[in-house]
Amino acid sequence: MAESLNFRAPRPRHHWTNYQKQVLCLLKKCYSNHWEHLAKIFNYIFSRELKRNGYFYGMPARVIVSQWHTLRDKRFPVFTQIDSLSFPIKEHDLIRTITKAAHGLGIVLIEANISRRTPVTERETPLAQPRAATNVLLPVSPPITPSPHSAQLLAQPEIKPRLLFRYWSGKSSGVNSVSYFCAGLWEAQPEVIPPPDSDRRVLHALAKTHLSRYDIKSPFISLYDTPLAPFHRALQVEDGMLTIFDISSFDDRRIFAAVDILKNDPLSRQISRRSYRGYSEFLIWGDIPAEYIVGSIRAHDLLALPAQHRKLLQISTIKSFRYNQRPLKSRLRSRQTPVDRMTGYLLGNIFCKIKLPEKVAAELAVKIAKGWRFKTDKANGYLLFLQGVTAAYHSSRVSAERFQRPVKLSVVRGSRIDRSDDWEMVNSSDDNDWETVDRLQEHDYGVTRSRSGIAVSANHAGEEDDFTRDRARVRRIIGF
């Protein structure tokens, strides 16, 4: 008997290239994120090739995990080659590609806790150069056309951070508002800002003057990749503001790292009060439109937060120090704030109160944990920490949905409503274990909960009355 025809779609088959194997091995070696995140990054980088092979929605994580185990268990040359690389390897071209992809997806990369070591295996053939950028679905900025007199422009930062921060007040130079920022040089005519295609020496001189202590009309806007420095300055004045920017899609030609400017030509004592290296400062040429602004908050408004939140952010401690220098950072480190789920949950509650978008919450939480010198003892400390942040947002959504105004229903004529049962709403955010309301806290004596999450008196929990169906119908309609 002839076998029946199989009309099912053929299973996608993928031929792994050496370049893809290198990216996969580097992902697992350098970062301790869950495989789900690593798979998303891999699918983002090789989206075009995977679609050609039938993976229109990306390769499943289980297939990627299986391939990595195969490379490791069978000791493929590409695996042993990557595994033998000594740290640091951040300058590797593939690491830059991975970092850009993570920024585009909004994924916070958690560096693996691997001790620095010397390769113990024999040296393999050097890694093949990555293929042209046309194979990678990443935004590519158009080439810069230098002026006739320029030799080389200031180098853009090799790895552009996603979130940047700025302090500003009524005395700040330029245009500063919750929806638009413009450098002081063009505050009168922001519509005529030219591109930064001047001579390299001119750009270098303008940048150094901007970084000095002189008050001038500068073509740059200062941003920082750590929130501590601008937060400290915002607390020193009554109208100090802190603004968060998402520059993941910002024009790379208009971003300059201060550390690259000062690396070979530091500021002299005549133009700087101290030895400033510019490690966390970035200079933005021209202006910053509203689409790159996540939000702004008045620093002194944070003093109205609950005591446990103020203690977590150490607002009073930070405000008491005149300078953001080593003594302040030592004091923050001495607090020994643990990087755990509870800390992440409290920080997530703060984010919810100030209405911070959840898409940037994880990265901001990690920046605060590092800037405030939180203490982590476990290799997966940041994983639990970020789980706490996510749990806070989930709890906030559940509470908002639960306390929405219910639909007003008319009572069927002839029916009786028994009001002896005291029904009350239960807020899951009050649960110390962050669990659903199906489970009672130990201090809820004499109360049971229905499957819907509504608390009823224990004396009536087992009774059947004439209105059980009506109550169930009401619960279904209002969404509990």
pTM: 0.56
**Mean pLDDT across 320-347:** 91
Q: Looking at per-residue confidence, does 117 or 188 come out higher?
A: 188
Look over the chain and give the mean of its residue pLDDT values, rounded to a whole number: 73
Residue 480's pLDDT band, with cuts at 50, 70 and 90, is: very low
**Mean pLDDT across 380-399:** 86
Can you tell me the distance from the alpha carbon of 6 to that of 25, in angstroms, rounded to the nearest whole number? 37
Q: Looking at per-residue confidence, does 277 or 119 come out higher?
A: 277
pLDDT at 8: 54
- One-letter amino acid of 49: E
CATH fold of 163-299 = ADP-ribosylation fold (3.20.170)
Q: Looking at per-residue confidence, does 226 or 147 come out higher?
A: 226
Residue 206's pLDDT band, with cuts at 50, 70 and 90, is: confident
C-alpha closest to that of 254 among 385, 153, 378: 153
> Is the pLDDT score of 101 beyond 90?
no
Q: Say which residue the tokens 């405000």 belong to.
A: 319
Residue 472's pLDDT band, with cuts at 50, 70 and 90, is: low
Domain residue ranges of the chain, discontinuous segments joined by +: 18-135, 163-299, 305-402, 407-480
pLDDT at 227: 94
> What are 37-65's pLDDT values in tens digits?
999 999 988 888 887 777 877 888 888 99
Can you tell me the distance from the alpha carbon of 204 to that of 210, in angstroms, rounded to the nearest whole number? 10
By CB atoms closer than 10 A (0-12, 13-18, 19+), residue 224 is: buried
> Is the pLDDT score of 474 beyond 90?
no
Supply the angle between the helices 18-30 and 61-73 in degrees, to the nearest 10: 90
| Range among 76-80, 119-123, 362-366, 459-463 with highest mean pLDDT value | 362-366
pLDDT at 115: 46
pLDDT at 449: 38
Residue 198's pLDDT band, with cuts at 50, 70 and 90, is: low
**CA–centroid distance for 369 within its chain:** 12
Can you tell me the distance from the alpha carbon of 342 to that of 423, in angstroms, rounded to the nearest whole number? 30
> Is the pLDDT score of 176 beyond 90?
yes
> What are 255-295's pLDDT values in tens digits?
988 888 887 778 776 666 567 778 889 999 999 999 999 99
pLDDT at 451: 36
pLDDT at 204: 82
